[in-house]
Structures are given as C-alpha cells and as structure tokens.
Structure 1
Amino acid sequence: MKAFLGTGLLGANFVKAMLRRGDQVQVWNRTASKAQALETAGAKAFENIIDAVKGADVIHLTLKDDATVDQVLEAASAGFSTGVTIIDHTTTSAEGAVERTATWKTKGFTYLHAPVFMGPPNALEASGNMLVSGNQEVIARVETELSKMTGKLINFGPEEGKAAGIKLIGNLFLISMTAGLSDALALAKALDIDSADISALFSTWNPGAGAPARLDKLRTGDFSKPSWELDMARKDAGLMMSAAKASGVKLTVLPAVAAEMDNWIAKGHGSDDWSIIAKDNV
C-alpha cells in the first residue's frame, strides 16, 4: 500500500500513473476536493492525514516547501507504520533534506529526498528525470519503484542533500534561460521582428545544445583563447540595449550581464573570451 500526500497537478498525475500500474494508493491534500477527485481513478481519499497514511509501506510527498513538508510529516506521523519509507519529491533546500533524513531516522523511519525535473505530463507518462542521493542501501531498496515513476533516475552518490542542491541548480538554469528568452522577445519587439522568426531561428540553430560543451569550457578556467572577445561581446550588448531603449522596451537580464562585462573589462580582460565573467565561480 502506498500513500501520496499533496495531490496538486504533479502529485495527482503521479497517483494516476501509480493506479494504472496496479498500485493501491491512499491520498490526502490540504484542499480535500483535489484528493477526492482521484477516487474516480481508483485512489482512496482521506480528509484526515493520519488515516491517509495508515497501512502504507511507502509515503510519497509532493508539496510546496520545507516548512510545508515538515508540518505535513509531523501531522501524519501518528499514523506511520513501523519502518515506513518516506519519499519526498518536493523542491526544498539542501539543508532541509539533510535535517529531515537525520530526524526521521532517529524516529525509526526512512526519509529519502527525490526531487524531479518533471512536469505534470511527465508524471503521468513516467518520463523526465528524478534525482536521488544519500544512503545507497536505501536507494537500492527503492530504485525499482522510483524507476517506474520516471524516464531516468539519476543517483548522485552518498552525500545527503546533494540531489536537493542539484535540483536548485537546475531550476536556476531554467529560470535564467526563460529570462533570457524574455529578453530575446523584448529585443525582437524593439527591432520589429515577429516572435515567430525567433522561433524559426531556434528551431534551426539550437544554442541550448551547446550548453554541456560551454559548461566544460567554463570549468577549465582558461579564458585566454577567445572565440568571442569580451570587448566585442560588450559592444554587441551595447547595441542590444540601445535598440531596446530607443523603443522603450525593458530588458531584464542583459543590463546585469553588461555591468559584469564592464567590471572585467576594467580589470584588463577585454581581449579574453567573454565567458571570463564566470571566472570567480569556477
């Protein structure tokens, strides 16, 4: 028997996929109607969280944040079966994941943080990526079940909280990428270029495909062989900002990047590769 606490868009689709695989799933959500809606798919919904976890060998969580996870687990704990395994898919702090692993271990329960790069469609289709780290014996014990939930289960080793940290790093990149696309659309607007043309460009020229190679280049810390000199990149950034300003369009990301370029140019690195702006972080 499984229990699932937190049946928003992601959690609800995880539950539906479990039910399709033949699992028995008890569900709970703070907004009871969201849990009750899953009864038509075969789940058993409870308004009382203690009842929702009774008899469950594994309890999955998809909640909001550290505080919510702590509150929900504390409220549910009176119904925990002996030796129950708690698997938390919530995006939380690394510190919180470490603390919960230790806290619930002292109480006789197993807590594993397994955050995901998965949207609701991925949860329903069992595609995407799930991250784990920590006690390798625990991970080995649940690996088969977790693998059923995702296209790829990535094990980052024995360090507690590492999966949580990597999840945050991945989300940072997604936020940065979306903000960059927002600036691209803003500049297209300033230049009176249809956004469909930008879509056509990226469908042919995919800059994201070069991210792994670019990251490896940054990690070497060698910026002395430029493919794009910092001075030239800053010149181009100036052209972009001037075009946006002339049309009254706001850029969000580029001005901050340009300011960092100016810092490195002032230090005498104008002829180095423009990616030297990352030097202090590698």
Structure 2
Amino acid sequence: MIAFIGTGLLGANFTKALLAKGEKVQVWNRTASKATALEADGAKAFDNVADAVRGASRIHLTLTDDAVVDAVLEQAAEGLTPGCYIIDHSTTSTEGALRRTQQWAERGFIYIHAPVFMGPVNALESSGYMLVSGDQEVIAKITPWLSAMTGKLLNLGERTEKAAGLKLIGNLFLIALTSGISDMLALGKAVGVDGSDILGLFSEWNPGAMAPGRLKRVLAAQFDNPSWELQMARKDARLMMEEAAKGDKELVMVSAVAKQMDQWLDKGHAHKDWTIIASGNL
C-alpha cells in the first residue's frame, strides 16, 4: 500500500500515474476535496492524515515547505507503520532535509528527500527529473520505486542535504531565466520587436546551450582571455536600459546586474571577461 500526502497538481498526477500502474494508493490533502476527487481514479481518500498513512509501506509527500512538511508528518506519526519509507518530494531547505532525516531515523522511520524537476504533466507521464541523495543502501532499495515515477533519477551521492541544495539551485536558474525573458519582452516593447520575433531568433540561435560552457568558464576562472570585455558588456547594458527607458520600461534584472558590473569596473577589471562578476562566489 502507498500513501500520497499532498494532492495538488503535482501530487494528484503522481497518484494517478501510480494507480494506472496498478498500485493501491491512499490519499490525503489539507483541502479535502482535492483528495476525494481522486477516488474517481481509484484512490481511497481520508479526512485524517494518520488514517491515510496507516498500513502504507511507503509514504510520498508533495507539500509546500519545511513548516508544512513537519506539521503534517507529526499529525501522521500515530498512523505510520514501523519500517515504512517516508519519501518527500517537496522543495525544502537543506537544513530541513537533513534534520528530518535524522529526527525520523531516531523515531525508527526512514525519511529521504527526493525533490523533482517535474511539472504536473511530467508526474502523470513519469517523465522529468528526480533528485536523491543520502544513505546509499536506502537509495538502492527505493530506486526501483522512484525510477518508475520519473524519466530520470539522479543519485547525487551520500551527502543527505545535497539533493535539497541542487533543487534550490535549479529553481534559481529557472527564476533567473524567466526574469531575463521578462526583461527581453520589456526591451522588445520599447524597440518595437514583438515576442514572436524574439521566439524566432531563439529558434535559430539557442543561448541556453551556452549555459554549461559558461559555467565551466567561470569555474575555471578564465577571465584574462575575454570573449566579451566587462567594459563592453556594461556599455551594452547601458544601451539596453536607455532604450527601455525611452519606451517607459524598466529592466529589473539588467539593472541589478549593471550594479555588479560597476563594482568590478571600479576594481579595475574593465578588460577582463565580463563573467568575472561571478568570481566572488567561487
């Protein structure tokens, strides 16, 4: 028996996928109607989370944050079966993932954090990416279960909180990417270039493919052989912001990066590769 706790968009589709594979699934959600809706797919919904986990050999969580995970698990504790696995797919802090692993081990249960880069469609189709780290014997045991739920399971090693950290780092990139898209659209409005034109450019020129190479360059601290000098990148940032201002638009991300560029220019790095602005975090 499997229990799925937290049946929002992601949890609901995880549950549907498990049911489609012939698993028996008990569900609970803080908004009860989201759990009861899954009974049409074959799940059994409960009003009390302790009842939902009772008899389950593995419990999956897709909840909001550390505080909610802690509160819900405490409510569920009286129903947990000794020896069951608690598998948490929630995006949480590194400290929370480490603390829960230790605390629940002391109470006789196996807790493991397995955050995902998956949307609702991925959960339904068992595609996307799932991260896991920690006790390798535990991971070996649960790998068949997790692999069946995702397109690719990435085992990141023995450091318990590493999966939580890399999940946050991945989400940071997604936030930065969308922030960049927002600035591009704003600049496009200001210079008379619409979104379809930008999409057409990216259909031919894919700057996203540069990300691994750019990261390698930064990690290697290759700033003395510039492909784009800091002073020239700052000039371009100025032009972007000036063009946007003419169209009564603000470039939020570019403005913040320009301030960083100014700090490095003040240090005398005008002729270094502009990626030197990231060197302070190496």
Q: TM-score when scaled to structure 1?
A: 0.99
* Shift of residue 192, structure 1, vs aligned partner: 1.1
Structure 2 counterpart of 1:122, one-letter code: N
* Shift of residue 122, structure 1, vs aligned partner: 0.3
Structure 2 counterpart of 1:229, one-letter code: E
* Shift of residue 222, structure 1, vs aligned partner: 2.0
Once residues 155 and 280 of structure 1 are traced to their aligned partners in structure 2, the CA distance between those partners, rounded to angstroms, is: 29
The question of 1:105 aligning with 2:102 is answered no
Query: Alignment partner of 1:188: what SS?
Result: helix
Pairing of 1:1-282 with structure 2 (within 5 A) = 1-282=1-282
Once residues 183 and 70 of structure 2 are traced to their aligned partners in structure 1, the CA distance between those partners, rounded to angstroms, is: 38
Once residues 149 and 184 of structure 2 are traced to their aligned partners in structure 1, the CA distance between those partners, rounded to angstroms, is: 35
Once residues 120 and 227 of structure 1 are traced to their aligned partners in structure 2, the CA distance between those partners, rounded to angstroms, is: 40
Query: Alignment partner of 2:64: what SS?
Result: coil
Once residues 231 and 53 of structure 1 are traced to their aligned partners in structure 2, the CA distance between those partners, rounded to angstroms, is: 59
CA deviation profile, 1:37-73 (whole Å, cap 9, x unmatched): 0001010001111110111000000000000000000
* Shift of residue 246, structure 1, vs aligned partner: 1.2
Once residues 250 and 261 of structure 1 are traced to their aligned partners in structure 2, the CA distance between those partners, rounded to angstroms, is: 18
Q: Please, which runs of 5 or more residues in structure 1 have no aligned partner?
A: none
Once residues 203 and 37 of structure 1 are traced to their aligned partners in structure 2, the CA distance between those partners, rounded to angstroms, is: 40
* Shift of residue 203, structure 1, vs aligned partner: 1.2
What stretches of structure 1 move > 4 A for 4+ residues in a row? none
- Percentage of identical aligned residues: 62
Query: Alignment partner of 2:252: what SS?
Result: coil
Structure 2 counterpart of 1:272, one-letter code: K
Aligned residues: 282
Query: Alignment partner of 1:22: what SS?
Result: coil
Once residues 49 and 262 of structure 1 are traced to their aligned partners in structure 2, the CA distance between those partners, rounded to angstroms, is: 54
* Shift of residue 251, structure 1, vs aligned partner: 1.1
Once residues 273 and 33 of structure 1 are traced to their aligned partners in structure 2, the CA distance between those partners, rounded to angstroms, is: 55
Alignment RMSD: 0.5
Query: Alignment partner of 2:257: what SS?
Result: helix
Once residues 49 and 261 of structure 1 are traced to their aligned partners in structure 2, the CA distance between those partners, rounded to angstroms, is: 51
Query: Alignment partner of 2:82: what SS?
Result: coil
Once residues 138 and 245 of structure 2 are traced to their aligned partners in structure 1, the CA distance between those partners, rounded to angstroms, is: 55
* Shift of residue 86, structure 1, vs aligned partner: 0.1
Structure 1 counterpart of 2:200, one-letter code: A
Query: Alignment partner of 2:227: what SS?
Result: coil
Once residues 53 and 266 of structure 1 are traced to their aligned partners in structure 2, the CA distance between those partners, rounded to angstroms, is: 59
Once residues 86 and 204 of structure 2 are traced to their aligned partners in structure 1, the CA distance between those partners, rounded to angstroms, is: 44
